[in-house]
């Protein structure tokens, strides 16, 4: 092992705290130059994962699901039991032909013309949020911009009621916070009988998002509309 490889052996580019100071571009560049297929230490039964830092390698893996499965073991860094893997499986944790079939269901909503539409109202939403925040003169960027922007855009794409935005912002924020021990929400805030281990992000808040989705799905089956739902 060379000196450079030894220096890179225990680098951390996976922990959220690393990105508090910005994206570690220099470390990633060193990995690309000296160890592009890098064994990255990580807590768990496998003690780590393979980190690819070159675009060509990432592309090759993405095109070879038979060798590099997204479905077997899923894509999370955390170790999960078989029942949790089955319960938490989503579109991105499937391989062809299932992945292809599911992706076709929503592909029409992401054509070039549709994406141009999304760009237009995303700019409008961002501008509106910024105008409101700036008018306050002093504000929290996370609560006024970062939290509402993606959900408000997603609501527009899905065709959900705008009045549901505050509830969905709260639930998704709680889901994201569940992975951070400093901000993990109180599980009793979102009561459910389902073991959190079987839910995305390991939080009961995810169950309430699913229940909301089921309710919207039932409404759309009765009253179809021209939106992603």
Cα-Cα-Cα-Cα torsion 111, 113, 119, 121, nearest 10 degrees, comes to -110
Name residues whose C-beta falls within 8 Å of residue 145's C-beta, 6 or more positions apart in sequence: 129, 130, 133
pTM: 0.75
What is the structure's pLDDT at 79?
80
What is the structure's pLDDT at 3?
40
The one-character DSSP state at 144 is I
CA–CA separation, 115 and 151 (whole Å):
16
- Cβ–Cβ contacts within 10 Å for residue 46, how many? 10
pLDDT in tens, the chain (229 residues): 454 556 898 899 998 889 988 999 999 999 999 999 999 998 877 889 999 999 999 999 999 999 999 998 878 887 888 888 888 888 999 999 999 999 998 888 888 998 898 999 899 999 999 999 999 999 999 999 999 999 999 998 899 999 999 999 999 888 888 877 777 777 778 888 888 888 888 888 899 999 999 999 999 999 998 888 8
């Amino acid at each position: 092992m060379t000196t450079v490889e030894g220096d890179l052996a225990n680098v951390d580019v996976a922990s959220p705290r690393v990105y508090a100071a910005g994206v570690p571009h220099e470390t990633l560049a060193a990995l690309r130059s000296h160890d592009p297929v890098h064994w990255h230490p990580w807590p768990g039964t496998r003690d780590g994962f393979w980190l690819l830092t070159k675009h060509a390698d990432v592309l090759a893996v993405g095109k070879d699901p038979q060798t590099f499965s997204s479905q077997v073991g899923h894509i999370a860094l955390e170790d999960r039991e078989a029942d949790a893997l089955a319960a938490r499986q989503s579109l991105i944790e499937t391989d062809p032909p299932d992945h292809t079939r599911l992706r076709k269901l929503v592909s029409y909503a992401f054509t070039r013309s549709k994406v141009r539409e999304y760009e237009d109202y995303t700019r409008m939403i961002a501008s509106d949020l910024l105008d409101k925040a700036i008018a306050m003169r002093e504000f929290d960027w996370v609560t006024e911009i970062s939290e509402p922007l993606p959900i408000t855009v997603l609501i527009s794409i899905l065709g959900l009621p705008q009045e549901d935005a505050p509830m969905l912002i709260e639930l998704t924020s709680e889901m994201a916070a569940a992975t951070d021990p400093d901000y993990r929400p109180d599980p009793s805030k979102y009561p459910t009988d389902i073991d959190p281990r079987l839910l995305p992000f390991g939080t009961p808040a995810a169950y309430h998002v699913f229940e909301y989705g089921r309710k919207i799905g039932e409404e759309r089956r009765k009253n179809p509309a021209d939106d992603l739902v």
